[in-house]
Every structure is written in C-alpha cells, then in structure tokens.
Structure 1
Amino acid sequence: MRNQNQPVVVEGYPFIGLFAFVTLIFALLGWGFLTVLCLALTLFTAYFFRNPERFSDAEEAAVLAPADGRVICVDKVWEERCLKAETIKVSIFMSVFDVHVNRAPITGRVADLFYNRGEFFNASLDKASLQNEQAGMLLEHPGGPRLLVVQIAGLIARRIVTYPVIGDLVQRGARYGLIRFGSRVDVYLPEDADVLVHVGDRVRGGETVLGYLK
C-alpha cells in the first residue's frame, strides 16, 4: 500500500508544490508579505500531510487507534451496515493540527468496503457518523472477531482516501488511507471488547490501545 515510508504522504505533493510555486513567483516579484504568507502556507501544508513512523508492541488482542486526535464518543450502538450487531463505537476527532494518516486498528482481512456520499456537517457532531460522506472498511481478525472502521469527512474535508481492496490482508498499524483537512474516524468494536479509552482522551494512531478483543 502507499505511503508506508515517505515522510510526507504523496496526496499532499500537489498542494505543497502549488504553494511552493506561488511562493517562488512572489519572491521573484519582490512581494515580501505575500512571499512570507505563501511560504507559511507551504510549510503548514507539508506539516499537515506529515507521515510519521509509529510502532506498538501491544499484544495481539489489542486494538490500536486508527487516527490521531481526541476521543469524542464511547458508546454502545447497533451497527446496521456491516456487522448487524451491538457494538461499542469509539469516535476520534481529528483537527487540522493532527496527523491525518489513518492506520489499521487490527491485523485482518478486508472483508468488505463501502463508500457513501453524504453531507459535510462538523465532524464532531453525532449526526456526522451516519449523514456525512464516509468510507468504511470491515476487517476480519484471524482469531475470528470482526471490526468496522469508518473514515468520515468533516466540515471542510472533501477527500477520503482508502488504499486496500476487498481480500487484502492489512497489518495492524499499517497506513491504510487518509482524510484531507479535518474529520473523524469511527471504530466499531465487538460488544464484549474491553475498551480502555474515555471521552476527552488524546490518542495517537498506530500506538494508543483503544481496547482488547476477547
């Protein structure tokens, strides 16, 4: 899959290149304020699309956070789309200052994928889970449990990227996609999972343990 080693994700190259080009033009014209402004935008865009290495030595049953951000929901819900079962939903909100690369929460086979066009409500709102544009990936753990992870567009996010296809085996912590410019990721764990995080917690994708599968 893409972006496994690059320090900046390839999806950010066009934006970084555009701002860098405009910065160069303004510099050649001697327009100091605009040059500094566009240079700042170039650096922030590179920062936004950063792709840091993450490692975890947690035991096999651990479910890792798929994204950086703040936990805004931990609740029991009925998941109708794929699992059709009672689950524990953990929602992580990503601000524009968080890493936006998404990582697989468990090792598993991609059993299903879906993409739904939708609205662009603020991603921190409850209704965003079902009404916003989103892409879901159903993972089957080798030990049996299934887990659904859903990338959700936000108020200004307009591009969800998911790399795997159905049948792929993804490793826990591996990059599997990203969402541009602010959004959230929902993880639906089995009802009997032992969830460790609480609303308000800060988590790091590929490192923080959300909970453990039975």
Structure 2
Amino acid sequence: MNMIGTFIKPMHPEGRKFVATFAAVTVGLFLLSDILGWVGVILTIWCYYFFRDPERVTPTGPGLIISPADGIVSLIEPAIPPAELGMADEPLTRVSVFMNVFNCHVNRAPIAGEITAVAYRPGKFFNASLDKASVDNERNSLCIRMADGRSIAVVQIAGLVARRIVCFVKPGSEMQTGERFGLIRFGSRLDVYLPNGVEPMVKVGQTMIAAESVIADLNVADAAQAE
C-alpha cells in the first residue's frame, strides 16, 4: 500500500483558491508572530483536508441506492420531497446524512439515471442536523429518474456554517452511481428521498461513506411487493 496515498488525498479544484488564500494569510501571520503563523499552518492543512476528494469504490449491484455524502445518518422519517422538483405530493422515506466540518464534502449520485430537475432555493442557516433544516434552510434539490421510470430526490442543504452550495450538473445530465455532482462549504447535510415502498437499510447514528455505503436496495422492495 502506498503510505503517502493513505494520508495525502487529491483535492477538489473548488478548494484551490481557498487553500491558496489560507496559505497567503499564514505567510502574513508568520510576519506578526510564529505562534500565529503555526495556527495558520494548521488552518491551511484543515482547509486542504476539507476539500479532499478521494477515489471511492462504488458497489456495482443493480438497484443499490448509495450514500451521496460522508457523515452520520441523522434522521430517517417520512417527508414530502421539495415542491420545486414537481414530484408526487406524498410522503416518502427521507434519509438524512449530516456532514460535519471534518467530513469529505464532495457529493455523489446515489444511483444512476437522468437528472430531470435541478432547483435552488435560498433560505436560512439553521444547524443542518435539525429536522427543520430540510424546510427552512438554503437548499439545492435534484430529481434523478432511474431506468425503470421511478425517481429519487437528493437535496443539498446548507448548515449553520455552510454558506455556499455548489452543483455541477444540469437537467438532462446522465449520472452514474457514485459520480460527483456537487459539494457544500463548510458543514451541511444531504437528504435522499427513497421511491415509494423502498425501506432504508441503515439506522440513525450509522456512519456513511459517500459512493460506497448502501442506503437501500430497490430489489428487496420489488421482491417484497411481488410476494
């Protein structure tokens, strides 16, 4: 195993200007005080670490819904998808993954399909771990239509510290499971609205790895409905 690769991960291009800014400020801090300078070094390393973008090994089984974010499952509950996506006005199971400022913040597609809608809505900046964050906070919502015609909603939600949601895709884009579609700066949450009848395979408090951890399996739901 490459030991350097274990500790040094690629950085997402979105982070370059921030790391450069932190580094420039650090140089200035060293001119004032060695102690302040070393504080700047630590913060610069943290900034790089925040924007890390490691490669992930995504499960290839058909019908697997994968976590779109690193973090902790903070909520599992029925909820109506964001109205701006134009999906059915009925509660679906929502799985929320909360990201703290030490998690990797690159967001990944939970399943393959076509992006049929991307809708940004401004809002407040409550703590993203709170239930009301899904309704009140700034958010960016995506609807992904799978090959079988069903849809999944995935929502980027700004948090208490986050002030910028970045989305790389547009309606009509074709996504593969685990493919990067955006990120949020700095600390936030991702909500996944599962198709009707699909039950999550995770529990509140469980640690998720973006593009690798399985949230649900469409095949299990299909088999249960066929019985």
Q: Distance in 2 between matches of 1:34 and 1:79?
A: 46
Q: What is the SS of the residue equivalent to 2:91? A: strand
Of the three residues 24, 27, 30, the one matched with 2:27 is 24
* Cα distance per residue 1:66-89 (max 9 Å; x no partner): 000010111122335132233110
Find out whether 1:37 has 2:42 as its counterpart: no
Asked if the contact 1:76–1:88 (Cα under 8 Å) also holds between the matched residues in 2, the reply is yes
Deviation digits for residues 62-114 of structure 1 (CA, Å, limit 9, x no counterpart): 00000000101111223351322331100010000111000000001000010
Query: Retained in 2: the 8 A contact 1:123–1:183?
Result: yes
Q: Matches of 2:32 and 2:122 in 1, distance apart?
A: 44
Match of 1:212 among 210, 214, 217: 217
CA distance in structure 1 between the aligned counterparts of 2:81 and 2:109, rounded to whole angstroms: 19
Residues of 2 paired with 1:80 and 1:189: CA distance? 13
Looking at structure 2, the residues matched to 170 and 56 of structure 1 have their Cα atoms a distance apart, in angstroms, of 13
Tell me the distance in 2 between the aligned counterparts of 1:38 and 1:125. Answer: 32
What 5-or-longer segments of structure 2 have no aligned partner?
1-8, 223-227
Secondary structure of the residue aligned to 1:111 is strand
1:77 aligned to which of 76, 79, 86: 79
CA contact (8 A) 1:111 1:139 kept: yes
Matched, 1:90 2:85: no
The structure where helix makes up a greater share of residues is 2
* CA shift for structure 1 position 57: 2.5
Distance 1:79 1:22, change over 3 A: closer
CA distances 1:118-145 after superposition (whole Å, capped 9, x unpaired) = 0111101111001100000000001221
> What's the CA shift string for 1:145-179, capped at 9, x where partnerless?
10000000001100000000110001110110000
Which residue is 1:11 aligned to? Answer: 14
The aligned residue for residue 46 of structure 1 is: 48
More strand by share: 1
Does the aligned pair in 2 maintain the 1:86–1:190 contact within 8 Å? no
Counterpart of 1:183 (choices 165, 185, 188) is 188
Structure-1 residue corresponding to 2:225: none
Report the equivalent of 2:6.
none
Q: What does residue 174 of structure 2 align with?
A: 169
Q: Distance in 1 between matches of 2:82 and 2:18?
A: 37
SS, match of residue 41 in structure 1: helix
> Which deviates further from its counterpart, 188-197 or 17-26?
17-26
Q: Post-superposition shift, 1:52? A: 0.7
Which of 39, 52, 64 is the aligned partner of 1:62? Answer: 64
Between the two proteins, the alignment pairs up a number of residues equal to 208
Question: Cα gap change, 1:123/1:30 in structure 2, threshold over 3 Å: closer, same or farther?
Answer: closer
Deviation at 1:193, TM superposition (A): 1.2
The 3-state SS of whatever aligns with 1:197 is coil
Give unpaired runs (5+ residues) of structure 1.
1-5
Q: Which has the higher contact order (CA 8 A, sep 6+)?
A: 1
Letter in 1 for 2:37: T
Q: TM-score w.r.t. structure 2 length?
A: 0.88
State the Cα distance separating 1:22 from its structure 2 match.
2.0
Asked if 2 retains the 8 angstrom alpha-carbon contact of 1:110 and 1:165, the reply is yes
